[in-house]
Amino acid sequence: MAAIYLGDTGQVHLERTSNNLPIHVKLEPEDVNVARSRFGIDECSSALVSGDKIEIANTDGNDLELVAGHAFHDWTGYCHIDAAGGIYLYNSYELAINGRHSDALPLVEPTAPQNISVQLDRDRFRCIANIQEYSLTTSRETIDVSSIGEEFRRNYTNGLISGQGTLVCFWDYESTLCEDQSVTYPHYLSQLIIRTKIGGGFRGRFYLNSVQEPYIWYDALCIVTNVAMSFIPSDPIVSTIDFVTTGPIALRMGSPEEALLQEDSSYLLEEDDTSRILLES
C-alpha cells in the first residue's frame, strides 16, 4: 500500500544571498560614532537588512580601521540597521537580530578616509517562521527544432526548467519557532523586495518531508517579485510572497550537506564522490 503524506511535515529554509556586485563606498572618520559603537553610510544602510552576514574590506589593501582589535584588511560578521540607518556590527545572527547596543562590537575611528567594499556573505540556512502554506510550480520550455522534410516536420527538444511559487505566512518580525530559535522572520521578505542595490534574491529549500529521513526537498535560487499584506480586523496579518526561480531547480532526497563539527566546535571536512573537499553551510 502506498504511503500518503500530509502537508504538515514540510517547511521552508532560506539562505540570504546577493544578486549584485559589492558596494564600493568611502568611509570617512566622521561616519563612525565610537561612543555608540555605530557607523552610518547611506549607500550601505539602504541596501542591508538586520541579520545580514556581510564582509567589509579595505580595497586599498591596508588594514581595515573600523572594528576595535581587528587588524586585517577585511572583517566578516553580522549587522543590525536601526531606524535612522545606523549600522551596528555583531559576531552572531541572534545578537544582530536583537540589536542591543550593549552587545555591538566596539568600533574605532579611522585615522583617514578608507575606500571599502561591503558584500553580502554566504550564511547558513534558516527556517522561515509562521508559514501557513507554500506552493512551488516547475515547468519546462520546449524548443522547436524542426527541419525541412516531412519526417522531421515537428521536433522538439528539452528547454530550460523554470519555476515560480508563493509563500503565505502569518506576518511577524520575530518568532521563537524552530528547534534552535534561529529563524528568518516573514518581515525579512518584505524588506528583501525593496532592496535595490544588493537585490531581492535568496536560496530556498522547500521541504515536502522534514520530519524523518529520507528528507525530500526542492533546492533553487529565487528572487522575490511581489509581497502583499492582508489586513482584516480581528484576524492575524497575513503576508503573501510571490517569487520566481533564477537558476537550476533540483529535487533532492536524503540529508542536506552540512559542515561537521567536533565537540570543541572546530570543523571536520568531508569528501564527496569526486574526492573534492566540501565545507558547506
> For the whole model, what pTM was predicted?
0.72
Q: Which residue has the cell 519546462?
A: 140
C-alpha closest to that of 32 among 113, 139, 107, 129: 107
DSSP collapsed to 3 states, the chain? CCCCCCCCCCCEEEEECCCCCCEEEEECHHHEECCCCEECCHHHHCCCCCCCEEEEEECCCCCCCCECCCCCCEEEEEEEECCCCCEEEECCHHHHHHCCHHHCCCECCCCCCEEEEEEECCCCCEEECCEEEEEEEEEEEEEECCCCCCCCCCCEEEEEEEEEEEEEEECCCCCCCCCCCCEECHHHHHHHCCCCCCCCEEEEEEEEECCCCCEEEEEEEEEEEEEEEECCCCCCCEEEEEEEEEEEEEEEEECCCCCEECCCCCEECEECCCCCEECCC
| pLDDT for position 177 | 41
| Tens digits of pLDDT across the chain (281 residues) | 567 777 778 889 998 887 666 888 999 999 999 999 999 888 787 788 888 899 999 998 889 999 999 888 999 999 999 888 899 999 988 888 888 899 999 999 999 999 999 988 877 888 888 888 999 998 876 655 555 444 444 454 555 678 899 999 988 766 444 445 567 888 888 888 777 666 778 899 999 888 777 889 999 999 998 999 988 898 899 999 999 998 888 899 888 765 444 444 444 454 444 444 555 44
| pLDDT for position 22 | 83
| pLDDT for position 276 | 47
CATH class of the domain whose range is 126-256: mainly beta
| pLDDT for position 105 | 95
The domain spans of the chain are 19-120, 126-256
| pLDDT for position 142 | 62
Biggest CA-to-CA distance, the chain: 80
Give the burial class of 208: count Cβ atoms within 10 A of its Cβ; 0-12 exposed, 13-18 middle, 19 or more buried: middle
